[in-house]
Structures are given as C-alpha cells and as structure tokens.
Amino acid sequence: MRIAVLNGPNLNLLGTREPALYGRESLADVERSLRTVAREVGADIEFAQHNGEGEMIDTIHQLRGRVDGVVINAGAYTHTSIAIRDALAAIAVPFIEVHVTNVYAREPERRHSMLAQSAVGVVCGLGTYGYELAFRGLTRTLAARV
C-alpha cells in the first residue's frame, strides 16, 4: 500500500509559524514520525509540500495510478479550492483531510471545507498528531476494502 502525504501553503513553516497555535513540531518532525508509522503498518509513504495551488494540483495529478490513498492538509486552500477537490476526484483515490488546528473553532471563513464532502474522513484540532491518526485511519480503511 502506498500513501502520499500532501501539505499546502505555509506548512513548511510548521514549528516556527505561530507556535502558540500550530505547535513547535516542524514538518520534518511530522514526516519522520509518519515514516515510523508507515514501517509499523507496512505501507510505503511519500511527501510533498507546495505553497502554490497549481503546484499542488500538478503533484496530485502525478499521483494517479501510483498511490492507493492521500492524506492532505491543503492549508488555506481547503476553504477555497474547488480545483484541488476536482484534482483529487480526478485521480480517484480515497483521501483524508487533516488540519493541525480545529478549523471549526476558528474564523468563520475557515469553517467550510471544499474537500470534506469527498473525503473519507477529516481530522482536525489534534495538533500534528492528527497526521498519524489520519494516516492510520486511511491505511485501515484501504485494508478493509481489499
């Protein structure tokens, strides 16, 4: 089983960007932790982070036929990008949306997700640990479909 973990704008700044809100773990820390989890569950994993919407879409297109599922934190594009939702639908793989903060307890514009309706699940508000929960949940969901 191969899973891609995609991160959107500003997530390259995890650990230093508003640490009171997003915590002190870096994106590299998250990736290191997920590599350990992937070995534990017998999955292959790959990572990408892009600040630009078009770059994210290009990466999603390149996943077609190569991965079984996606864990995605599209950052602010979650709330605005029909194009990212459409790209995920076009590659026809299950995905789980993840957010470090509880987007439903934040500003009104963050309370709507363009992706959630098509997602297998959404994990938010549990800090960077949410990535592990999303990854484990996705691998379990995929294994149950076999």
Average pLDDT for the chain: 94
Residue-level pLDDT at 137: 97
**Known catalytic membership, residue 22:** yes
Average pLDDT over residues 58-65: 98
Q: Which of 82, 73, 95 has its CA nearest to residue 8? A: 73
Q: Which of 80, 48, 72, 64 has its CA nearest to residue 120? A: 72
Dist. CA 31–CA 33, nearest whole Å: 5
Report the percentage of the chain scoring pLDDT > 90.
82
How far, in Å, are 66, 69, 72, 142 from residue 146 at the CA level? Answer: 17, 13, 22, 7
Q: Which of 123, 82, 86, 85 has its CA nearest to residue 102? A: 123
Report the percentage of the chain scoring pLDDT > 70.
99
Distance of CA 105 to the CA centre of its chain: 19
| Catalytic annotation, pick one of 79, 99, 104, 131 | 99
pLDDT tens digits, 89-127: 999 999 999 999 998 887 777 776 879 899 999 999 999
Helix (H, G, I), strand (E, B) or coil at 9: coil
Q: Which long-range contacts (CB under 8 A, 24 or more apart) does 25-30 make?
A: 25/127, 25/128, 29/128, 30/128, 30/131
Residue-level pLDDT at 9: 97
Q: Higher pLDDT residue, 72 or 116? A: 72
| Catalytic annotation, pick one of 22, 50, 77, 131 | 22
Dist. CA 138–CA 49, nearest whole Å: 19
**Known catalytic membership, residue 50:** no
Here the tokens at position 82 are 């029909």
pLDDT for residue 45 is more than 90 = yes
How far, in Å, are 67, 118, 139 from residue 11 at the CA level? Answer: 22, 22, 23
